[in-house]
Amino acid sequence: KAISAYSLAEATATSTQLRQQLRQYAQAYYTQDAPLVEDAVYDDLYRQLQQLESAFPTLVTADSPTQQVGGAVLAGFNKVTHQAPMLSMGDVFSFEELAQFDSRMTKAIAQATEYNVELKIDGLAISLRYEAGRLVLGSTRGDGTIGEDVTANLRTIKSIPQQLSQPLDLEVRGECYMPKTSFEALNAERDRNGEAVFANPRNAAAGSLRQLDTKTTAKRQLDTFIYTIVDAQRYGISTQADALKQLRQWGFHVNPESLVARELPQIHDYIDRYQGQRDDLPYGIDGVVLKINQLALQTELGNTVKVPRWEIAYKFPPEEAQTILRAIEWTV
């Protein structure tokens, strides 16, 4: 049924149901690292709730999944209050929606847009704090405001510098992920031991980083791509592209595939290229991220309660759907 045909009572009942369902899925996904459904199913229900809430704004509650960063803090870990919130990201599923985002940006900044385009790594967000160049705290995103202290576990990851060459006070953020080879080896071992296998590398990474026994994390072969310098302008950096260069110089692992782009066709090509190469990359990606390149403009655009206004994720179609399509191609 079209949302425009809903009565307020129907919309209330449906949105309550959707919220309950989404909360149940989010709990399994974020707390147990064991999703009950594919991401595309979750995304679809989430979209329905978003559309209902935008048609009936009085239904929006502060605790709706559309208004909160998903995620939880597991018992057993110390809590870390983030100095700046670790947010989620808006998403689009078509070039048409991407063009709408671009028009919104052009209008808001009253000038032509320039984006830093990056791969959307399928892992979990981490924050790393350095004092006088020494790694002092590593945490997960948690609910966006409070995350888990996983410093000891992050110290087992070889690509994370323990000591920077300069005595900097610094916070950086990025993605902790499990390379595909490690994921396959881990699941094969779990299968042999009669343990439940992880649904995907993202859940495996989250489950492996959030271990109370550091030795378990150390065995899991996690890796990182760092993509954010918090308050980068403090270090004389004015664009996201320069932030990535600086991160590389400081010794962080930075994904090499990013691109500065001004025109949508260039971005479409980038998306098509990586959607095609997705299976060949040694790490999982679930889309492409567009970020307004100028940091001053990012600050000007700011955030909603849940997402930065200056960035968007173009999500790839689910891999299962691609597999199904390929299977159909084979049979015809």
Q: Which is nearer to ligand NAD, 67 or 163 (CB)?
A: 67
Q: Which is nearer to ligand NAD, 29 or 130 (CB)?
A: 29
Which positions ≥6 away from 107 have C-beta within 8 Å?
none
Among candidate residues 120, 158, 245, 306, the one labeled active-site is 120
Of the candidates 14, 19, 25, 129, which one interacts with ligand NAD according to CB under 6 A?
25
Q: Which of 237, 225, 311, 325 is nearest to 275 (CA)?
A: 325
Q: Does 310 participate in binding ligand NAD (rule CB under 6 A)? A: no
Cα distance between residue 328 and residue 323, in whole Å: 9
Least Å from the CB of residue 203 to ligand NAD? 9
What 3-state DSSP class applies to 106? helix
Of the candidates 33, 114, 175, 223, which one interacts with ligand NAD according to CB under 6 A?
175
Beta-bridge partner residues of 128: 138, 172
Q: Does 289 participate in binding ligand NAD (rule CB under 6 A)? A: yes
Cα distance between residue 65 and residue 59, in whole Å: 12
Is 173 within 8 Å of 126 (Cβ atoms)? yes
DSSP secondary structure string, 281-317? SSS-EEEEEEEESBHHHHHHH-B-SSSBTTEEEEEPP
Q: What b-and-e string marks burial along 241-256, b requiring 16 or more CB atoms within 10 Å of the CB?
A: bbbbebbeebebbbbe
Cα distance between residue 196 and residue 250, in whole Å: 39
# of chain residues touching ligand NAD (CB under 6 A): 22
Of the candidates 45, 130, 313, 316, which one interacts with ligand NAD according to CB under 6 A?
313
Contact window for ligand NAD (CB under 6 A) among 39-47, 160-168, 180-188, 297-305: 39-47
Q: Which is nearer to ligand NAD, 10 or 38 (CB)?
A: 38
Token couple for 135: 């790694």
Q: Does 290 participate in binding ligand NAD (rule CB under 6 A)? A: no
Contact string 102-141 vs ligand NAD (x = CB under 6 A) = ----------------x-xx---x---------------x
Q: Judge whether 79 counts as a catalytic residue.
A: no
Cα distance between residue 302 and residue 174, in whole Å: 19
Of the candidates 19, 21, 39, 127, which one interacts with ligand NAD according to CB under 6 A?
39
Cα distance between residue 113 and residue 289, in whole Å: 15
Contact window for ligand NAD (CB under 6 A) among 24-32, 93-101, 109-117, 234-242: 24-32
Q: Does 247 participate in binding ligand NAD (rule CB under 6 A)? A: no
- Specify the pairing of strand 170-177 against strand 91-92: unpaired
Q: Does 37 participate in binding ligand NAD (rule CB under 6 A)? A: yes
Give contact residues for ligand NAD (rule: CB under 6 A): 25-26, 29, 35-39, 42-43, 70, 88-89, 118, 120-121, 125, 141, 175, 227, 289, 313
